């Protein structure tokens, strides 16, 4: 089997296993899963996630992966629900694990389906520019794109896989880049569910994200990726 096919098969198997996990575990797993996808508020998502009992952490990570591929509900809402259920630090770690898994799955899909995706995106200016820059500055492109909510995080994973970026470089940039956003969403969920005003720690994180947004937009604009 060709390496690209191996990446595609591995990514698809992960998605199938995650879907089975959500449907199989927890009391009334199918019904709870449906209600999570239909939930529109933080309280509802957190409440439905708790319904999976001891399997809640696994289901939370599974949802983060599924949203990166199918987008059934915003990943930010799942991250905030993790903060509401587990608190800031455990919730952030759980959200980070889900974000990492989702990023690796989109990378695997991009790597495995590179030919088909290139035929669709290969003629776009974003793809051509990303491909050229990733050859020499791939780590920094992914890192800054992850730090700033300008380019879709899912698209970054697909593009990195299509561009054959080294897995280690992509994984390291992804691991570092998703931390501030996951921390902010988790802290927000933790504060809101406890009916507290936004903590000064969250204010500092949000200020830092604003600075990263401006700096990242400038850098990506300089590279003509936006």
Task: Tell me the domain boundaries of the chain.
Answer: 3-222
What spatial distance separates the first Cα and last Cα of the chain, rounded to whole Å? 37
The most confident of 6-20, 67-81, 197-211, by mean pLDDT: 67-81
User: pLDDT of 142-187, one tens digit each?
Assistant: 888 888 765 667 788 888 888 888 889 999 999 998 988 898 889 8
User: At residue 96, does pLDDT exceed 80?
Assistant: yes
**Does 225 have pLDDT greater than 70?**
no
Q: What is the pLDDT of residues 126-141, one digit of tens each?
A: 667 767 777 777 888 8
Q: Is 80 exposed, middle or buried (0-12, 13-18, 19+ CB in 10 A)?
A: buried
Location of structure tokens 């920094």? 140
Query: How far is Cα 27 from Cα 40, in angstroms, rounded to an integer?
Result: 21
Amino acid 90: pLDDT: 95
- Secondary structure of the chain as H, E, C letters: CCHHHHHHHHHHHHHHHHHHHHHHCCCCHHHHHHHHHHCCCHHHHHHHHHCCHHHHHHHHHHHHHHHHHCCCCCHHHHHHHHHHHHCHHHHHHHHHHHHHHHHHHHHHHHHHCHHHHHHHHCCCHHHHHHHHHHHHHHHHHHHHHHHCCCCCHHHHHHHHHHCCCCHHHHHHHHHHHCHHHHHHHHHHHHHHHCCCCCCHHHHHHHHHHHHHHHHHHHHHHHCCCC
- The answer to whether residue 208 scores a pLDDT higher than 80 is no
Per the structure block, which two tokens stand in for 63?
């949802």
pTM above 0.75, yes or no: yes
Q: What is the pLDDT of residue 198?
A: 58
For residues 161 and 111, the answer to whether their CB atoms sit within 8 Å is: yes
- Quote the percentage of the chain above a pLDDT of 90: 12
pLDDT band at 26 (very low <50, low <70, confident <90, very high): very low
In this prediction, residue 143 carries a pLDDT of 85
């Amino acid at each position: 089997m060709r390496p690209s096919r191996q990446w595609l098969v591995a990514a698809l198997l992960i998605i199938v296993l995650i879907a089975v996990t959500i449907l199989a575990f927890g009391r009334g797993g199918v019904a709870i899963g449906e209600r999570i996808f239909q939930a529109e508020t933080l309280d509802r998502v957190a409440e439905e996630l708790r319904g999976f009992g001891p399997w809640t952490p696994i289901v939370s990570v599974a949802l983060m992966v599924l949203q990166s591929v199918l987008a059934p509900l915003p990943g930010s809402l799942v991250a905030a629900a993790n903060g509401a259920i587990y608190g800031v630090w455990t919730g952030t770690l759980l959200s980070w694990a889900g974000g990492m898994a989702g990023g690796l799955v989109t990378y695997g899909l991009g790597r495995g389906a590179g030919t088909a995706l290139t035929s669709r995106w290969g003629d776009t200016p974003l793809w051509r520019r990303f491909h050229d820059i990733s050859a020499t500055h791939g780590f920094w492109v992914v890192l800054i794109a992850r730090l700033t909510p300008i380019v879709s995080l899912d698209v970054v994973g697909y593009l990195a896989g299509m561009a054959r970026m080294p897995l280690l470089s992509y994984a390291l940039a992804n691991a570092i880049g998703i931390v501030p956003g996951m921390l902010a969403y988790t802290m927000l969920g933790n504060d809101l569910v406890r009916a507290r005003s936004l903590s000064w720690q969250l204010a500092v994180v949000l200020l830092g994200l604003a600075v990263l947004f401006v700096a990242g937009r400038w850098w990506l604009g300089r590279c003509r990726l936006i």
